[in-house]
Amino acid sequence: MSTSPYIVDITVENFQQIILEGSMQQPVLVDFWADWCAPCKALMPILTKLAEEYQGKFILAKVNIEEQQELAAQFQVRSVPTVMLVSQGQLVDQFNGAKPESEIRAFLEPHLTNPVEQLKEQIRELIGAEQLDQAQMLLQQAISQLPEDYELQIQLARVLLQKSQASEAKAVLDNLPETEKGRPDVQGLQAGLKFAEKAPSAEELAALGERDDSEARYLKALAALVQADYDRAVTLLMAIIRDDRGYDEGVAHKTLLEVFALLGEGNPLVIQTRRKLFTLMY
């Protein structure tokens, strides 16, 4: 029996937990083998080495077909060694017979994802779907496990700011090392905190009513930024630049550039607005 956390001997009792449920978290490489099988004995050290090397990117599940005949029949194993890759509860690939290490690596690589990157992608998807409470919860869990991954902390500050929790976002940013505080994305979030400080209260916003002068547009843009309504904020700021570029010493243009920093240069809204801004300015 293996003592490695990445290698498990499979029985009927743990099959559901390790292979079906476990493959929802990371791929499971199922190795069907037998004591009398010489190719199995040649293959197993290679699989063991890779399982240890990949450090949890996949789990090696070993099935002795003589002891687990029911599982061998369920998977329709007709010869050994047979190696199957299960991901998300589904059989996604397999091979038969012993293979050299290089071929097994090539077999594995397309199916393996860095767990941290997978987690970050999940968080990005939640934010994209505006499921900010779930994103915050996942970020806080991830940070507790990866306290030195400052990307996660910066993302948490961004989510808190989008939820209008400016003081909590500020606390996260203040806790970053000095070496991280100069990053453009952090500077953008600091700008977001300024928006929250300057934004009108709900009563002040209501008092603006249908006013459409530069001051009203600017205050409404700040309110939109606090609510993470970036499309409306950008539209209002661009209107000021178009109609009253010198308002308050060009504050609309300066604020728009801070919005670009907050959202990041790869954001589609930033790319689109930069083109319009260039046309407007020149």
Q: CA 111 to CA 27: how far, in whole Å?
A: 7
* C-beta separation of 258 from 197 below 8 A: no
Instruction: Give the amino acid at 50.
Output: L
Active-site residue, selected from the candidate residues 40, 63, 98, 199: 40
Copy the structure tokens of residue 247: 């308002």
Catalytic site includes residue 173: no
Catalytic residue among 7, 8, 19, 37: 37
- Distance, in Å, from the CA atom of 27 to the CA atom of 161, rounded to the nearest integer, reads 35
- Active-site residue, 87 included: no
Helices (H), the chain: 15, 38-54, 69-74, 101-108, 115-128, 132-145, 150-162, 166-174, 178-181, 184-198, 202-208, 214-226, 230-243, 251-263, 268-281
Per the DSSP assignment, residues forming a β-bridge with 84 are 30, 94
CA angle 160, 162, 163 (to 5 degrees): 65
Cα pseudo-dihedral 272, 277, 280, 282, rounded to 10 = -120
Helix axes 132-145, 150-162, angle to 10 degrees: 160
Which residue in this structure is represented by tokens 């453009």? 184
DSSP string, 35-65: TT-HHHHHHHHHHHHHHHHHTTSSEEEEEET
Question: Which of the residues are catalytic?
Answer: 37, 40
